[in-house]
C-alpha cells in the first residue's frame, strides 16, 4: 500500500505541475488536506488524539520545520525536473545522514559504510551530467530537501516519545502547515491571483483542478502515514530494503507514465546509485541489528 500510494502521489503530483507550476501552493495543499483528514479522524476517535504538552511541542517543532522545508524543496524539484531525476538525487539522503551522524552527532561511522556510499555519489553524478531535464533549480532544491530530511531524522531521534506514530505524524503535519503558508503567500500569492488559478481552470476545468488537488493531498498524507506505521512494525533491515525498492518503483513508473527520454548514462548512473543505497542499507541495518542483540544480551 505504501508503494502503491507513493507511486500514485508522484504521478498525480507531476501531472498537476504540468498545468499548474506552483510548488509552494501545492505543498500547502498537500499538508492542508492531510491536516483536515487528521482533525476528522480525531473527531471520530480513530485514533484517539494523544494529549500535547509544551515540552513535547518544543521537541516536535524542529522536526516539523525540517519536514516543511524538505517537503517544499522536494516539490520545487518535482516541478522543475523529471520525477525520476529528483528521486535519483534524493538517493543521496543516506550520504547526508552518515555525514550528519559523524560530524553533527559525533557518532563514528565505520569505513565500510562510507565505502558503500561511493557508488551512490558516483551514480548520482553520472545521472546528473546527462539528465535531459536537468536544471539547477531542480538539482539544488532536491539537495536542500536531502539536508532537511537528514536533520528531520536527527531531531526525530531526540523527539522519540511514547506517543504512537499516527498521532506524532498528525502533529508534525499541523506545525509544518503553518510553516509552509507564509512563503507560499509571499512567493506565489500575487501570481496565483493574477493568472495562476485562472490558467489552471481554463486548461482542465474547475472540477478536475479541485479534485486533483484534493486527491494528491490525500495520497501524500496516506503514503506518509503508512510509511510511518510500517517503520513502527518492522526491523531496520526490512525498512531499509523497503525504502530502496520504493525508489526503484517510483523511478520506473514515472519513466513509463511520462515517457521520459533518459540517456544511457543517466540510466546506468541511476542503477549504480540505487545499488549503492541498497548496499549501504544492508550494512547499516546489520549494524543496527548487532547493536540490538548486544543490548538484549
Radius of gyration of the chain from its Cα atoms, rounded to whole angstroms: 19
pLDDT in tens, 171-211: 999 999 999 999 999 999 999 999 999 999 999 999 999 99
Q: What is the pLDDT of residue 153?
A: 79
pLDDT in tens, 271-293: 898 888 888 888 888 888 888 88
- At 236, the pLDDT band (50, 70, 90 cuts) reads low
DSSP 53: -
Helix residue ranges, H only, the chain: 2-19, 23-43, 54-80, 83-90, 93-103, 111-130, 136-158, 165-191, 197-204, 206-233, 236-258, 264-296
| Among 281, 270, 215, 277, CA closest to 86 | 270
Measured between alpha carbons, how far is 214 from 37 in angstroms, rounded to an integer? 11
CB 248 within 8 A of CB 5: no
Task: Report the share of the chain in percent with pLDDT over 90.
Answer: 43
- pTM of the shown model: 0.85
**How large is the average pLDDT for residues 208-216?**
97
Q: What is the pLDDT of residue 9?
A: 94
CB 145 within 8 A of CB 91: no
C-alpha count within 13 angstroms, C-beta hemisphere, residue 221: 29
Q: What is the pLDDT of residue 36?
A: 97
Amino acid at each position: 500500500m505504501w508503494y502503491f500510494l507513493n507511486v500514485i502521489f508522484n504521478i498525480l503530483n507531476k501531472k498537476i505541475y504540468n498545468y499548474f507550476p506552483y510548488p509552494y501552493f501545492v505543498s500547502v495543499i498537500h499538508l492542508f488536506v492531510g491536516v483536515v483528514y487528521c482533525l476528522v479522524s480525531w473527531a471520530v476517535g480513530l485514533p484517539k488524539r494523544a494529549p500535547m504538552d509544551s515540552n513535547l511541542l518544543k521537541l516536535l517543532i524542529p522536526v516539523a520545520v525540517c519536514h516543511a522545508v524538505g517537503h517544499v524543496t522536494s516539490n520545487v524539484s518535482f516541478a522543475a525536473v523529471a520525477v525520476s531525476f529528483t528521486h535519483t538525487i534524493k538517493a543521496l539522503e543516506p550520504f547526508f545522514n552518515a555525514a550528519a551522524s559523524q560530524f553533527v552527532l559525533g557518532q563514528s561511522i565505520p569505513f565500510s559504510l562510507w565505502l558503500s556510499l561511493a557508488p551512490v555519489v558516483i551514480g548520482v553524478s553520472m545521472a546528473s551530467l546527462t539528465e535531459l531535464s536537468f536544471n539547477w533549480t531542480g538539482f539544488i532544491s532536491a539537495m536542500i530537501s536531502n539536508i532537511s530530511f537528514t536533520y528531520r531524522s536527527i531531531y526525530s531521534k531526540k523527539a522519540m516519545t511514547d506517543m504512537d506514530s499516527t498521532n506524532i505524524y498528525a502533529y508534525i503535519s499541523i506545525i509544518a502547515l503553518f510553516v509552509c503558508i507564509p512563503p507560499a503567500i509571499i512567493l506565489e500569492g500575487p501570481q496565483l491571483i493574477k493568472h495562476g488559478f485562472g490558467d489552471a481552470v481554463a486548461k482542465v476545468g474547475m472540477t478536475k483542478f479541485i479534485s486533483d488537488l484534493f486527491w494528491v493531498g490525500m495520497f501524500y498524507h496516506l503514503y506518509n502515514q503508512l510509511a510511518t506505521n510500517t517503520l513502527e512494525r518492522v526491523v531496520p533491515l526490512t525498512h531499509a530494503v523497503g525504502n530502496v525498492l520504493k525508489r526503484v518503483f517510483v523511478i520506473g513508473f514515472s519513466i513509463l507514465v511520462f515517457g521520459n527520454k533518459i540517456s544511457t548514462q543517466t540510466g546506468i548512473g541511476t542503477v549504480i546509485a540505487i545499488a549503492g543505497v541498497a548496499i549501504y542499507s544492508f550494512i547499516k541495518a546489520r549494524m543496527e541489528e548487532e547493536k540490538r542483540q548486544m543490548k538484549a544480551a
